[in-house]
Amino acid sequence: KQEVTQIPAALSVPEGENLVLNCSFTDSAIYNLQWFRQDPGKGLTSLLLIQSSQREQTSGRLNASLDKSSGRSTLYIAASQPGDSATYLCAVSGDSWGKLQFGAGTQVVVTP
Amino acid sequence: DAGVTQSPTHLIKTRGQQVTLRCSPKSGHDTVSWYQQALGQGPQFIFQYYEEEERQRGNFPDRFSGHQFPNYSSELNVNALWLGDSALYLCASSFSGRYGEAFFGQGTRLTVV
């Protein structure tokens, strides 16, 4: 059974610092991995999708890496801003149908 | 292009009642999945609909049922509500032919009293 873990559960950084968020999964037979952002009481916003054959994906200040063999993904956010404050969730899918297994998320606070 | 839309955004129900939540997928998407998110936790997969059939189901009781319509929109029904069903219910849509990338709606906050 796939288990997804995100450590730490919460993180506070001063504005301008780079953020490093970690995600680990127990079964390396994944189809893809997605990173999402969630603001309080809101839905999920897709940030990056990494297919199992890829090592990383980039979008603006965001970069996500994937190491399937070690069961890890890392989301980097460069030069953090107060607007980056949110909960970040990673999720893995075992097939192309898109059923996702989520971690519990990392709550990020960026202080001005 | 409208994204995934869910209705209603909030509702309050009494224990024992039944509720129906609705979801319209992103344009071009043919697959709809439903998730339940309790406070402070990651979303849990309820079930997925494709071609008007339930294709996959998570570890949820039969009180949770759904439907997909020919226009790909979907409903989630929950019978015999109890306090533990209070949660944010999220709908996600995807296209069967594109890597399984999921897009989520804003969610429906259900409170059972």
Chain A: closest CA distance from residue B86 (Å)? 13
Q: For chain B, give the percent of residues with pLDDT over 90.
A: 88
Q: How confident is the model at residue A37 (pLDDT cuts 50, 70, 90)?
A: very high
Mind listing the pLDDT tens digit for each residue in B78-108? 999 999 999 999 999 998 866 678 999 999 9
- Which residue on chain B is closest to A95 by alpha carbon? B100
Q: What residues of B are in the A interface, CB distance below 8 Å?
A: 4, 6, 31, 33, 35, 40-45, 48, 50, 55-56, 58, 88, 90, 92, 94, 96, 99-107, 109
C-alpha distances out from residue A24 to A27, A75, A92, A100, B101, Å: 9, 11, 10, 14, 19
Residue partners of A44: CB distance under 8 A and separation at least 6: A36, A37, A38, A89, B43, B90, B92, B104
Q: What is the mean pLDDT of residues B43-70?
A: 96
Chain B: closest CA distance from residue A98 (Å)? 4
Contacts of B48 in chain A (CB under 8 A): 97-99
Two structure tokens written together for A25: 């999964």
Specify which of A40-54, A83-97, B6-20 reaches the highest per-range mean pLDDT.
B6-20
Contact A97 B50 (CB under 8 A): yes
- Average per-residue pLDDT for chain B: 94
Q: How confident is the model at residue A74 (pLDDT cuts 50, 70, 90)?
A: very high
- Number of cross-chain residue pairs from A and B with Cβ atoms under 8 Å apart: 80
Contact A97 B96 (CB under 8 A): yes
Q: What is the mean pLDDT of residues A7-29?
A: 96
Which of A97, A101, A103 has the CB atom closest to B55's CB atom? A97
Contact A46 B104 (CB under 8 A): yes
More confident residue, A34 or B98: A34
Predicted local distance difference test score (pLDDT) of residue B101: 85
Best CA proximity match to B74, nearest among B35, B113, B16, B109: B35
Q: For chain A, give the percent of residues with pLDDT over 70.
A: 100
Q: What is the mean pLDDT of residues B58-69?
A: 97
- Which residue on chain A is closest to B102 by alpha carbon? A98
